[in-house]
Structure 1
Amino acid sequence: MADRDGRPIVGPVDLAVPSGGVAAVMGPSGGGKTSAVLAALDALPEGLRRVGGRVSWNGSVIRPGRSARRWRREHAGLLGQDPASDLHPLRTVTGLLLESPFDGSRAEHREAAHRILRRLGLDPAQVARRRPHELSGGQAQRVALARAVVGDPALLVLDEPTSGLDPEALERVLQVLGERRGAPGRATIVITHDRDFAERVADSVVALGDTPPERPGRRGPLLRVAEPGRPAALELRSLAVAAPGGGTVLLEGVDLGVRPGELVALTGPSGSGKSTLLRAVAGLHPSWTGSVSVAGQEVPHRVEERGRALLRAVQFVGQDPRAALHPSHRVGSALARPARVLLGSSRDQARESAVSLAAEVGLPAEALHRTPARLSGGQRQRAAIARALAAQPGVLLADEVTSALDGRTARHVLELLDALRADRGLAVLLATHDPAVAARADRVLRIERGGLVEAEAAVGAGRSTGGVPEATAVAAPGEGSPTRPERCR
């Protein structure tokens, strides 16, 4: 496979999946895993093309072009790296699943759709009429997976299906894949950097790149303790957050202070409100009450009402990096813009900053000249992180920022955040399902019964709070809430 200038991207790759088999394609972020599989499906994005090799299905050669597209529609189900972006924003969950090819009546299709939702841990009575923006990241991931498998396709291709999922949801995905294993006429390809997942699900593994991915390591944090009387970098008081679309209250009575230089990890099951809390603090989800203060200054609910200083001070990196990057702008321009708009840098200064940030997050220099569609999912994630850091924020809100990264790259990004915490006092509030990521935090908080509780003794536990209020966890009223709030240290 090559780009439009004829430069080789990946290959040659040999991959054979027997009937009833599951094959895993592994390798580092940006190593060409997704591109290799999309080349086999003749589904490459603009700017890339297959330049050699042969693809066959049950002994018949599939020729590129119209024949491949027709075969793909009839036989393949695909879950992409950015599942939320693949869901039509105006269709309900049921409507999305009914779009998939299905051999049966519409009533049977609807019944099968609701059945697969339940197998993936989603109650059709609660989510069937919701639209994608009313789902959490993990729920959207499972809806996209349900959409890919509801018609029981002969070939199922899943690209990073475990990113952003809590352990319970992950087990449900494994069960669904386990039911396909050994089924006559069914083949599955899983693209992943998660070695544990590959070992559990796959019969064979194709490794691209230099070496198999490593698990993220743990390193002691570089904690800057706040000076006495210095305001919290981020402070939440009596915060209550409703679910997307309003109605159900996900979190209530949340008090939390994050010190300059501190990393606080936020954990909890998919749909519990982690992403919604971060989006509320970022001004992207206005359905909340209470107060949010940054460096002692209370901030408006909506991001549109925040001035340049506050926009610079609080930066958000979401689960869907594609949504944060303009599809027609090159990555270099995206990284330079915050420096020009929020910092007042000159064009040359902003360009130099973009080059430096790209290197710091591990993006190759040529990625700066590409649009987001020409990057891998892991590269898009790193670009979104670099874009947020370009503003030199005081608070970084990070939602599953390592889920699309291989272990080595994830460790590199986390160590960069450690350095910024030490050197600049960057405060980080991070939502994660990954225990190895949470283990690097100074405090680990878990969402339970609509409130925050201390999950475990974290690395930074017991250090001076420097005059900053500690987190107070309050469970939702009427759901076993304690008579006194527990203190999260």
Structure 2
Amino acid sequence: MSHEYDTTTEPVAEIRGLRVEIDGHAIVDGVSLQALPGKVTALVGASGSGKTTTGLALLGEYPPGARVTGDVRLAADGQVGYIPQHPAAVLNPARRITALLTDIARAQIRHLPRGRRRAAARERVLHALAEAQLQDAEALLRRYPHQLSGGQQQRVVLAQALLLGARVIVADEPTTGQDALTKSRIVDQLAAVAARGIAVVLLSHDLDVVRALADDVLVMRAGRVVESGPAQRLWLAPRHEWTRELLDQQPSFTESDTTADYAPAEPVLRIRDLTARHHDGARGRTVVLRTPELDLHPGECLAVVGRSGSGKTTLARCLAGLHRDHDGRILLDDITLPRSLRDRSRAQLAAVQYVFQDARAAFDEHRPVLHQVARTAIRLRGADHHSAETEALATLTRLGLPPDLVHRRPGQLSGGELQRAALARALLARPRVLICDEITSGLDTVTRRGILDTLTALLRDRDDLSLILITHDLDTAVLAHRIAVLDAGELVEQGPARRVLTEPSHPFTVSLMETTARLGAGTGR
């Protein structure tokens, strides 16, 4: 866990007694930390605990209208790179990846003769993409951000930070939305960053990643540090009750008892000979997904797992009518669904609902959350304003969002809080099929367990609801009755969850299970 670096070295960055107030309420209160060369300092805690606000303080960024006290100090050459939780927010949607990365690379090589800059910039970009574990770089460089999966977007932002040559990297949930294999590579990459003498400040809910990487850990709750110390001591002998709760709520896919035998009725949703494509610049249309046959039954939970970029989200978007460039048939109750949601009836739109991975991007930042959630019942079910708002408030409360919170605008909610609001909005359509795309990937262990318990209760209480979980996380897939595994756009395995989790038959699935187990044991590096 420890990197071979002189711990007596002066910190590259330091925070002392940071307090950040908004409207008289402290969202960070008295936080101190040191970012040492070659060391990984991790901040863990529930969504909304103040991790991101603390991390952004190292960049001099604070919420609008915030009152800030305390000190933030950087070394003279202490340039800070930032890897955000929602990468799409920092990637220009109108520019190809090659342009985004080349601009940064060129800024680093201005000292070179003009004739050598183009080749040198290209070499730096390809090297950064390789270090960020992005495969098929030539094809990826021609794409726009929206043509990448969430995991690919995350790694492009990591490549940007590496190109900057920062002395400190603040990694805000860098493994959000990543499969175990990619997560393991990011652990290796951040470990390699630290080994080069760069300080890493890791903000994460993923305790497996923290266990594999961190030298020191700060546990946050409600803006305060409730426990801190060397990582090994904290894992073995946590002193604070909240730390123990975070550790106790961490599930294991090997211990699931939710994958009991399931007796399906006739499928509510059928996929037949589905082939989806992306338009890939000069190369034209590229096949990114092939799914010959896949069914979803009433009351069933189907988990679709695979590495980032394997086609999971493309499959989900085809089902929801958000990706039109595909062949084959998608049938709801044996009736073929139109490819585009624009051609679907109001009943069909309500029947298949999608909860996005990036909940923040799915909300209008100018309108209160409650109004946006209630709008679903008005638009898709014809409910009147009063009854829709009453139902929305009840659903949001059941998902753990109090009334005073849901009257705020989305920018005043944490990522985890917005994810629960997005789930509530989809539920107000009273769907037959609920597609959840990595909805637990940005949540701490306690909040994730609450969301999974809610989904389990929904399946138990509503016989007409079926659930598709798009996930990289086998600890989330344990909720499922069946699992479908995608690799490089191909459906390589499907079957009862218990069998797939314990006796996988395809080499990729075997590798996925082994890597997950290795990360869970804290041996990711």
Shorter-normalised TM-score: what interval? 0.7 to 0.9
Q: CA deviation at 1:225?
A: 5.0
Q: Which runs of no fewer than 5 residues in structure 2 stay unpaired?
A: 1-18, 111-116, 222-240, 501-505, 507-525
Q: Which runs of no fewer than 5 residues in structure 1 stay unpaired?
A: 61-70, 462-472, 474-489
Residue type of the alignment partner of 2:208: D
In the alignment, is the contact (CA less than 8 A) between 1:224 and 1:421 conserved in 2? no
Partner of 1:345: 383
Partner of 1:274: 312
Shift in alpha-carbon separation, 1:315–1:344, aligned structure 2, 3 A: same
| Structure 2 residue 219 is matched with structure 1 residue 207 | yes
In the alignment, is the contact (CA less than 8 A) between 2:381 and 2:429 conserved in 1? yes
Shift in alpha-carbon separation, 1:172–1:116, aligned structure 2, 3 A: farther
Shift in alpha-carbon separation, 1:188–1:172, aligned structure 2, 3 A: same
SS in 1 for 2:447: helix
Shift in alpha-carbon separation, 1:351–1:225, aligned structure 2, 3 A: farther
In the alignment, is the contact (CA less than 8 A) between 2:352 and 2:433 conserved in 1? yes
Residue type of the alignment partner of 2:268: A
| Structure 2 residue 142 is matched with structure 1 residue 103 | no
Partner of 2:334: 296
| Structure 2 residue 42 is matched with structure 1 residue 24 | yes
Partner of 1:189: 201
Shift in alpha-carbon separation, 1:4–1:402, aligned structure 2, 3 A: same
In the alignment, is the contact (CA less than 8 A) between 1:241 and 1:289 conserved in 2? yes
Q: CA deviation at 1:39?
A: 3.5
TM-score by length of 2: 0.79
| Structure 2 residue 145 is matched with structure 1 residue 132 | yes
Shift in alpha-carbon separation, 1:93–1:43, aligned structure 2, 3 A: same
The CA distance in 2 between the partners of 1:13 and 1:444, in whole Å, is 43
| Structure 2 residue 74 is matched with structure 1 residue 57 | yes
Shift in alpha-carbon separation, 1:44–1:187, aligned structure 2, 3 A: same
Task: Find the partner of 1:156 among 155, 162, 169.
Answer: 169
SS in 2 for 1:393: coil
SS in 2 for 1:289: strand
Q: CA deviation at 1:457?
A: 4.2
Residue type of the alignment partner of 1:181: A
In the alignment, is the contact (CA less than 8 A) between 1:372 and 1:380 conserved in 2? yes
SS in 2 for 1:300: coil
Residue type of the alignment partner of 1:148: A
The CA distance in 2 between the partners of 1:422 and 1:440, in whole Å, is 12
Residue type of the alignment partner of 1:34: T
Cα deviation, 1:63-111, whole Å, max 9, x if unaligned, reads: xxxxxxxx9xx81211111102221111111211234374324433332
Task: Find the partner of 1:443 among 474, 482, 487.
Answer: 482
Cα deviation, 1:199-247, whole Å, max 9, x if unaligned, reads: 21121111101623331464526998555xxx52211122111135562
Q: CA deviation at 1:248?
A: 1.7
The CA distance in 2 between the partners of 1:459 and 1:427, in whole Å, is 19
Partner of 1:117: 129
Between Structure 1 and Structure 2, which shows a larger proportion of strand residues?
A: 2
The CA distance in 2 between the partners of 1:113 and 1:215, in whole Å, is 37
In the alignment, is the contact (CA less than 8 A) between 1:265 and 1:441 conserved in 2? yes
Single out whichever of 406-415 and 175-184 deviates more from structure 2: 175-184
Q: CA deviation at 1:359?
A: 2.2
Shift in alpha-carbon separation, 1:172–1:450, aligned structure 2, 3 A: closer
Cα deviation, 1:46-72, whole Å, max 9, x if unaligned, reads: 25x1432111123x8xxxxxxxxxx9x
Shift in alpha-carbon separation, 1:222–1:142, aligned structure 2, 3 A: same
Q: CA deviation at 1:280?
A: 0.9
Partner of 1:483: none
The CA distance in 2 between the partners of 1:446 and 1:154, in whole Å, is 39
In the alignment, is the contact (CA less than 8 A) between 2:40 and 2:199 conserved in 1? yes
Shift in alpha-carbon separation, 1:460–1:357, aligned structure 2, 3 A: farther
Shift in alpha-carbon separation, 1:193–1:326, aligned structure 2, 3 A: same
Task: Find the partner of 1:144 among 157, 160, 170.
Answer: 157
In the alignment, is the contact (CA less than 8 A) between 2:79 and 2:166 conserved in 1? yes
| Structure 2 residue 460 is matched with structure 1 residue 419 | no
The CA distance in 1 between the partners of 2:336 and 2:139, in whole Å, is 35
The CA distance in 2 between the partners of 1:291 and 1:407, in whole Å, is 38
The CA distance in 2 between the partners of 1:224 and 1:352, in whole Å, is 35
Shift in alpha-carbon separation, 1:332–1:307, aligned structure 2, 3 A: same
In the alignment, is the contact (CA less than 8 A) between 2:276 and 2:325 conserved in 1? yes
SS in 2 for 1:251: strand
Cα deviation, 1:331-366, whole Å, max 9, x if unaligned, reads: 111111101111222222222222222222223433
Shift in alpha-carbon separation, 1:99–1:384, aligned structure 2, 3 A: farther
In the alignment, is the contact (CA less than 8 A) between 1:222 and 1:421 conserved in 2? no
The CA distance in 2 between the partners of 1:292 and 1:275, in whole Å, is 16
Partner of 1:33: 51
Single out whichever of 356-365 and 187-196 deviates more from structure 2: 356-365
In the alignment, is the contact (CA less than 8 A) between 2:258 and 2:481 conserved in 1? no
| Structure 2 residue 321 is matched with structure 1 residue 283 | yes
Residue type of the alignment partner of 2:145: P
Q: CA deviation at 1:323?
A: 2.2
SS in 2 for 1:81: coil
| Structure 2 residue 110 is matched with structure 1 residue 79 | no
Single out whichever of 123-132 and 95-104 deviates more from structure 2: 95-104
In the alignment, is the contact (CA less than 8 A) between 1:100 and 1:148 conserved in 2? no
In the alignment, is the contact (CA less than 8 A) between 2:41 and 2:201 conserved in 1? yes
Partner of 2:267: 232
Partner of 2:224: none
Q: CA deviation at 1:127?
A: 0.8
Shift in alpha-carbon separation, 1:385–1:100, aligned structure 2, 3 A: farther
TM-score by length of 1: 0.85
Task: Find the partner of 2:471 among 429, 432, 439.
Answer: 432
In the alignment, is the contact (CA less than 8 A) between 2:267 and 2:295 conserved in 1? yes
Residue type of the alignment partner of 1:454: E
Q: CA deviation at 1:173?
A: 1.4
SS in 1 for 2:353: strand
SS in 2 for 1:190: strand
The CA distance in 1 between the partners of 2:402 and 2:84, in whole Å, is 23
Q: How many residue pairs are counted as aligned between the two chains?
A: 444
Shift in alpha-carbon separation, 1:128–1:419, aligned structure 2, 3 A: same
Shift in alpha-carbon separation, 1:222–1:401, aligned structure 2, 3 A: farther
The CA distance in 2 between the partners of 1:109 and 1:373, in whole Å, is 37
SS in 2 for 1:396: strand
The CA distance in 1 between the partners of 2:50 and 2:390, in whole Å, is 28
The CA distance in 1 between the partners of 2:37 and 2:172, in whole Å, is 20
Q: CA deviation at 1:456?
A: 5.9
The CA distance in 1 between the partners of 2:466 and 2:33, in whole Å, is 45
Residue type of the alignment partner of 1:76: V
